[in-house]
């Protein structure tokens, strides 16, 4: 649970796009894992000149960086006292009422994948956001097997942070963990009417900015995958389409797929549809 070069860039990006950090909750107390040089580059990218990048980068935890973003109140939550979190609470269990609707920004910087009861954990985060506030996630996608209990699909967050649950996804992006990696905006499968899939060879991270539009009972109706819903309702969804992830014999096509995967591992997100992933122009 740490803010690195992309995590700090993401929070700067979120503020640029209207997120208020006035009252911030961290799910897990975030550490700072970034060099002074990289943090200074990020700050300059978002016109934050005159900020002491060295002091922020040298901080063990993220509170000084969040204060720089405008936080007047910062509360960290964790299941143990190990990192001296403000509130000790196991997110497998419902959050206390005093924290509901309290924060303008709730940041999951890489915690929920480690919590077995994900529906309760994400509900807690969503309930903690004040109306007009935001839930922010930096969370694992492809190729993080063994990192936590889970790796997450974009579809999950699109269906969870949806109007029926009082939220709207403002931005969802993905990047591969490599130097100077580009970010790509991810399409909503329900909008483009097909599954948004990616076969790649590098570890990927999802970035989520979701705004709370109203207070409703979260998960009064369980989220369903959009293409199945379209099929059940007589729409055009393709609930049976699956990406090819293996082959049974070395046909010319299978050799081509293996070669493409090897190239993908070396050079990045080659096996992606432009309708699914569009490059983000930062900042």
Q: How many CA atoms lie within 13 A of 243 on its CB side?
A: 13
Q: Report, as ranges of residue numbers, the positions in the chain whose pLDDT lies below 50.
A: 237, 239-249
How far apart (Å, rounded) are the C-alpha atoms in residues 239 and 195?
Answer: 8
* Extents of the domains making up the chain: 2-279
Per-residue confidence (pLDDT) for residue 259, from 0 to 100: 66
Query: Residue 196 has what pLDDT?
Result: 94
pLDDT at residue number 247: 38
Look up the CATH architecture of domain 2-279.
3-Layer(aba) Sandwich (3.40)
Query: According to the 3-state scheme, what is the secondary structure of the chain?
Result: CEECHHHHHHHHHHHHCCCCCCEEEEECCCEECCCHHHHHHHHHHCCCCCCCHHHHHHCCECHHHHHHCCCCEEEEEECCCCCCCCEECCCCCCCCHHHCCCEEEEEECCCHHHCCCHHHHHHHHHHHEEEEEEEEEEEECCCCCCCCCCCCCHHHHHHHCCHHHCEEEEEEEEEECCCCCCEEEECCHHHHCCCCCCCCCCCEEEEEEEEECCCCCCCCCCCCCHHHHHHHCCCCCCCCCCCCCCCCCCCHHHHHHHHHHHHHHHHCCCCCCCCCEEECCCC
């Amino acid at each position: 649970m740490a803010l690195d070069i992309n995590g700090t860039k993401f929070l700067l990006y979120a503020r640029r796009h209207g997120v208020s950090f006035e009252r911030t909750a961290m799910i897990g107390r975030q550490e700072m894992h970034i060099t002074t040089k990289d943090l200074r580059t990020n700050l300059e990218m978002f016109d934050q000149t005159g900020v002491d990048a060295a002091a922020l980068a040298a901080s063990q935890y993220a509170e000084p960086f969040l204060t720089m973003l405008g936080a007047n109140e910062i509360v960290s939550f964790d299941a143990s006292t190990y990192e001296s979190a403000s509130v000790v609470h196991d997110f497998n269990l419902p959050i206390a009422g005093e924290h509901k609707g309290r924060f303008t920004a709730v940041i999951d910087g890489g915690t929920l994948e480690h919590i077995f009861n994900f529906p309760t954990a994400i509900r807690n985060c969503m309930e903690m956001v004040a109306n007009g506030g935001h839930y922010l996630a930096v969370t694992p996608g492809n190729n993080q097997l063994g990192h936590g209990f889970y790796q997450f699909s974009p579809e999950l967050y699109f269906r969870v942070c949806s109007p029926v649950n009082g939220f709207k996804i403002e931005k969802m992006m993905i990047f591969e963990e490599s130097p100077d990696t580009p970010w790509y905006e991810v399409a909503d499968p329900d909008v483009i009417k097909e599954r948004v899939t990616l076969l790649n060879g590098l570890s990927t991270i999802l970035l989520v900015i979701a705004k709370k539009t109203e207070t409703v009972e979260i998960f009064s109706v369980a989220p369903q995958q959009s293409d199945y819903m379209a099929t059940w309702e007589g729409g055009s969804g393709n609930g049976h389409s699956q990406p090819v992830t293996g082959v049974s014999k070395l046909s010319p096509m299978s050799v081509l797929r293996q070669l493409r995967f090897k190239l993908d591992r070396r050079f990045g997100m080659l096996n992606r549809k432009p309708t699914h992933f569009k490059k983000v122009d930062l900042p």
